[in-house]
Structure 1
């Protein structure tokens, strides 16, 4: 889709509100839902150009700041995630959903996270896009489930493509340790066949993840979840280990991990986008990685929407379109699609050794 074409089809607020309401309606017929789904898909596609420009700016900023290690990735929010969010928030207008287009930055430690955020929103910054303040600082104020990261929404602004001005892009900035925890949440969700990050899944698993988040917060010297703030590190570690031993969580995580031989891809350095499809088969999980060049962006969007539609009826398929570089960079930015929780397990075992030996 060209930018000029995109200018002509940006739907109005009322159109998006009706589409969102239709998608979660119990009374809308199939034709109405299909039309609403098409509206949503076109609305989502409009965010492709802004997030592409945005992530290039972020990469440049990370290079300028000379971070020891950084990973930058972009993605369009998955349709099931958008619809699930609308179902959880029935009064939400689709036009006001701020994380349709997302960019994620993974940095070595807390100091780098804070520095990048300040560079992007500080008064002296020259970043073109307008930050919506205050941000959601889930590092200083972790979510009740243990999630930690900084979420900063920006309003896209461009001299060259003003027709897209006003679209919202969400930037997530997190440490590698926080990212390993989020990956474990996603992977355990696959094992449990439940969206743990949306509050589903077994109580024991959710408790274990909250405890592990607290141990990681302690390691990084940041506030822990409120209801564990008066508990000692040793008590937190002991309860987490008791749950892990009883449920054999590490064994399950290692069992589902996808080895290199189960990754199907013909990707090389020419490819700008990758469509990831995680699918359960008889002998385990497999991830297919379909690469696209920059010139094939439109085709990638069409295939993404088509595969999502096909996957709606299957509980053992997950699809996402990402841009993060080569396969190595993709695995680092989206390890949950490769069910890779090695770093999480290593960090938890280290915490057990530190506090329980």
Structure 2
């Protein structure tokens, strides 16, 4: 039986530690607080992934889960200084991918009607980025649940939050391409912090995919089909990203074996002939969390490191395809969409 990490600190202690860490004034104790707070979310991830699989069985094409990496937590705190660490709602994240919007909405409605004590922290439209896409072009729906149970065994984790992401295959392909572009161009597109031409590229591509695959609009709804196609083609001639994505194969991952707890290490500091992706696998989730913290300290900014959990190798590949540099689905949707416009 897995002995999951239990929360050890009060909200005020977590809040204070987060503030000092962001300011560069952290103590050894502050870092222990952060590591415990993040690690304690593994338990609710385990609980929610089981619930999600029950609600989405036979409907979702893939289900995955992940703990937010330490550097990403600190980056978010720096970008949103008014948000306390204790209130961060996406340290634990589960993601479901669907063939289409109807399936997505069907499973989301099932989740909302579930007979459990876990509660949504917001109204149903708060994080609906299909109805109201982000300025970056991101589309999908997020729900945030606050964990709540009556059982003695589960009570220590009451109050922690988990973010559930719902995406269709086209929406996931676009988000995958953004992740890969961020890795290979050192941009920050998903945070609207990219160079203007990269940000515009993905705004346009989001609009093309939304119109041609789902009959919807995204963040460039004011453009006609002709204007949209011409501007995107000019942007791709300048950046060449479609060809770059098409050339990325992620073949190294095919030879690697996964376990239920897998750490993906995407190296930035290697020669062209060296493998960029390394995997560390663990049967025990607590051992994986300890190794995760050690690896982030070891690599610093020289690698993108993420801990993922799934039921199978294929499940992890599908839900976290960006870490295998596989944006070919995006290329296919875009080339088909350009033919349609």
Secondary structure of the corresponding residue to residue 95 of structure 1 = helix
Bigger strand share: 1
Q: Answer whether contact 1:129 1:154 (CA < 8 A) is retained.
A: yes
Q: Answer whether contact 2:292 2:307 (CA < 8 A) is retained.
A: yes
CA distance in 1: counterparts of 2:117 and 2:304, whole angstroms: 34
After TM superposition, where is structure 1 displaced by more than 6 Å over at least 4 residues in a row? none
Would the alpha carbon gap of residues 336 and 148 (structure 1) be closer, same or farther in structure 2, given more than 3 Å must change? same
Match of 1:129 in 2: 118
Q: Answer whether contact 2:64 2:96 (CA < 8 A) is retained.
A: yes
Question: Does residue 1:291 correspond to 2:281, yes or no?
Answer: yes
Q: CA RMSD in A?
A: 1.8
Which whole-Å deviations, capped at 9, do the CAs of 1:47-69 have from their partners, x for residues lacking one?
Answer: 10111110111001112xx42x4
5+ residue gaps in structure 2? none
5+ residue gaps in structure 1? none
Secondary structure of the corresponding residue to residue 122 of structure 2 = strand
Match of 1:70 in 2: 61
Which whole-Å deviations, capped at 9, do the CAs of 1:273-325 have from their partners, x for residues lacking one?
Answer: 111111142125521122222xx1111110011101112142xx111110123
Match of 2:19 in 1: 21
CA distance in 2: counterparts of 1:262 and 1:180, whole angstroms: 18
Match of 1:81 in 2: 72
Match of 1:208 in 2: 201
- Normalising by structure 2, report the TM-score: 0.92
Would the alpha carbon gap of residues 214 and 33 (structure 1) be closer, same or farther in structure 2, given more than 3 Å must change? farther
Secondary structure of the corresponding residue to residue 66 of structure 2 = strand
Match of 1:231 in 2: 223
CA distance in 1: counterparts of 2:241 and 2:121, whole angstroms: 39
Question: Does residue 1:307 correspond to 2:295, yes or no?
Answer: yes
CA distance in 1: counterparts of 2:127 and 2:301, whole angstroms: 34
- How far the C-alpha of 1:167 sits from its partner, in A, is 0.7
- How far the C-alpha of 1:264 sits from its partner, in A, is 5.7
Would the alpha carbon gap of residues 252 and 131 (structure 1) be closer, same or farther in structure 2, given more than 3 Å must change? same
Match of 2:3 in 1: 2
Q: Answer whether contact 1:73 1:103 (CA < 8 A) is retained.
A: yes
Q: Answer whether contact 1:264 1:289 (CA < 8 A) is retained.
A: no
Trace 1:7-156 onto structure 2 (pairs within 5 A).
9=8, 11-26=9-24, 28=25, 32-63=26-57, 66-67=58-59, 69-122=60-113, 125-134=114-123, 135-156=126-147
CA distance in 1: counterparts of 2:158 and 2:118, whole angstroms: 9
Q: Answer whether contact 1:264 1:288 (CA < 8 A) is retained.
A: no
Question: Aligned residue pairs: how many?
Answer: 333
Match of 2:322 in 1: 336
Of 281, 305, 313 in structure 2, the residue corresponding to residue 327 of structure 1 is 313
- Normalising by structure 1, report the TM-score: 0.88
CA distance in 2: counterparts of 1:38 and 1:163, whole angstroms: 18
Secondary structure of the corresponding residue to residue 200 of structure 1 = coil
Would the alpha carbon gap of residues 92 and 133 (structure 1) be closer, same or farther in structure 2, given more than 3 Å must change? closer
